[in-house]
Amino acid sequence: MQDMNIMQQFFYYLQNNSGYVLSQFVRHFLISIYGVFFAAIVGIPIGIFIAKKRRLADWVIGAANVIQTVPSLAMVSLLMLAFGLGVNTVIITVFLYSLLPIISNTYTGMTQVDKDILDAGKGMGMTPFQRLWMIELPLSISVLMAGIRNALVVAIGITAIGSFVGAGGLGDIIIRGTNATDGTAIILVGALPTALMAIVTDWVLGLVEKRLDPAGKLVGASTAVDGKDTP
């Protein structure tokens, strides 16, 4: 009976505050996207650079890994002292936590490109930039995409903490629920969409990752040819 009351309260709150919940949902997602986007702008070139200068890889990836050891709430609190309350602090937090998966996956994808293919491109007269743009990035894009996928899913969870510094998002609804006398239903209104956002994002980016996988395309093409040849 109590569970039924909670669900009734859940749908009642959702029905009467749908506009507010939707706006916080969009705000939450955009904060996560912005943080990962800026991390990709910085992290992908760094990953490419250390793939070319491998002696720096351990240092750079190690430095990015140090950031991961700092608890997210502590990171938000520290950045708040420098950047104040609001969205910017959370975006910078997401940016910092997104660097490791993006840099490491870019580095891994670049270093896994077959050297024979690169030598063939060089033999055809391709410049280093042409080899990067036409060979290395297309062949490593699925691994790179996996890093962005991981970063965005983690970012959605970190953004929920951002409500403690006035950034808004679905975490704001969760905080309202924790401050209410009987706020279990309100907590669910914030927590369930957050979980759903992470699950759907992971699923969609997983499809994109498979779509961009060169090996998957080759297997699909081979299967199609075999299918046509089969009477």
Residue linked to tokens 């077959």: 114
Side chain identity at residue 223, one-letter code: T
Cα separation, 81 vs 19, in Å, equals 32
Residue 47 inside a domain? The answer is yes
CB 161 within 8 A of CB 171: yes
User: Does residue 177 belong to any structural domain of this protein?
Assistant: yes
Q: Does residue 27 fall inside a structural domain?
A: yes
Q: Which domain range does residue 94 map to?
A: 23-214
The answer to whether the beta carbons of residues 43 and 106 sit under 8 Å apart is yes
Which pLDDT score is estimated for 128? 87
Q: Is 50 among the domain residues?
A: yes
The answer to whether residue 37 sits within a structural domain is: yes
- pLDDT tens, residue order, the chain (231 aa): 345 587 888 888 888 888 999 999 999 999 999 999 999 999 999 999 999 998 999 999 999 999 999 999 899 999 999 998 889 999 999 999 999 999 999 999 999 888 888 888 888 888 888 888 888 888 899 899 999 999 999 999 999 998 889 888 999 999 988 887 777 889 999 999 999 999 999 999 999 888 887 765 443 333 333 444 444
Give the CA radius of gyration of the chain.
22
User: How many distinct structural domains can be found in the chain?
Assistant: 1
Q: Considering the domain boundaries, does residue 17 fall inside one?
A: no
**Whole-structure pTM value:** 0.85
Q: Are 147 and 105 contacting, i.e. CB atoms less than 8 angstroms apart?
A: yes
Q: Would 225 be classed as within a structural domain?
A: no
Closest Cα to residue 32, out of 155, 185, 180?
155
Q: Are 94 and 158 in contact (CB under 8 A)?
A: yes
Tokens 């996928």 found at: 149
> Which domain CATH number covers 138?
1.10.3720.10
Any domain includes 4? no
